[in-house]
């Protein structure tokens, strides 16, 4: 779990390190134990007002692909520095024309033990064509929970940050103004 202060420092580092002309705006920086995901906003393609939805979609896809290819070297350079500094992989994505596109990103394996009723849920999702495997079914379940519990998860994260602050003030914490040990 990363604290708000650590998140702000991470975002600040990327804001300062990413070349000014890479994105219109740094939209989002998220982090977990394995990965830092950096999302920037890029300009939407200019289209005629009467452009069809299909034309708009194709234009946005083209813009995203052009950006990805044109900025590859700059993004790799920043990612290498960040991976060395923060010990996590860096993934990139963009927002363009109201759409979000992620480039290559980490799909971290997660091991779990499930009892039969839980396995039956996953197997039902597979049989129903919702997922191809138990792994896909479990990922689908996590996305479903995430979509419907954002407020609850945000409150839980805030509580965890509070617990970390209290622990940092505990009896084992070093006082900030402590004099150095004298020999």
pLDDT, tens only, 88-130? 999 999 999 999 999 988 888 888 899 999 999 999 999 999 9
pTM of structure:
0.69
d(CA 103, CA 121): 31
d(CA 72, CA 31): 21
Residue corresponding to tokens 């010990």:
87
Which of 30, 170, 158 is CA-nearest to residue 100? 30
User: What pLDDT score was predicted for residue 179?
Assistant: 44
Q: 121: which 2 tokens?
A: 């849920």
Query: Sorting pLDDT into bands at 50, 70 and 90, what band is 181?
Result: very low
- In percent, how much of the chain has pLDDT > 90? 65
Mean pLDDT in residue range 139-165 = 84
Q: Between 94 and 176, whose confidence is greater?
A: 94
Is the pLDDT confidence value at 176 over 70?
A: no
Average pLDDT of the chain, as a whole number: 89
Q: Which residues on adjacent β-strands are paired with residue 36?
A: 31, 90
Contact indicator for 99, 39 with CB cutoff of 8 Å: no
């Amino acid at each position: 779990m990363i604290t708000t202060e650590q998140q702000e420092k991470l975002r600040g580092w990327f804001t300062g390190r990413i070349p000014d002309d890479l994105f219109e705006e740094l939209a989002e920086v998220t982090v977990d134990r394995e990965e830092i995901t950096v999302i920037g906003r890029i300009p939407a393609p200019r289209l005629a007002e009467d452009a069809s939805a299909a034309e708009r979609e194709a234009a946005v896809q083209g813009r995203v692909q052009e950006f990805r290819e044109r900025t590859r070297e700059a993004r790799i350079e920043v990612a290498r520095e960040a991976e060395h500094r923060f010990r996590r992989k860096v993934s990139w994505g963009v927002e363009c024309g109201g759409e979000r596109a992620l480039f290559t990103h980490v799909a971290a394996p997660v091991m779990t033990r499930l009892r039969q009723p839980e396995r039956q849920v996953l197997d039902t999702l597979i049989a129903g064509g919702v997922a191809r495997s138990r792994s896909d079914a479990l990922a689908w379940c996590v996305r479903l929970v995430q979509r419907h519990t954002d407020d609850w998860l945000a409150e839980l994260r805030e509580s965890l940050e509070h617990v970390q602050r209290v622990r940092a003030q505990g009896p084992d914490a070093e006082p900030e103004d402590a004099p150095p040990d004298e020999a």
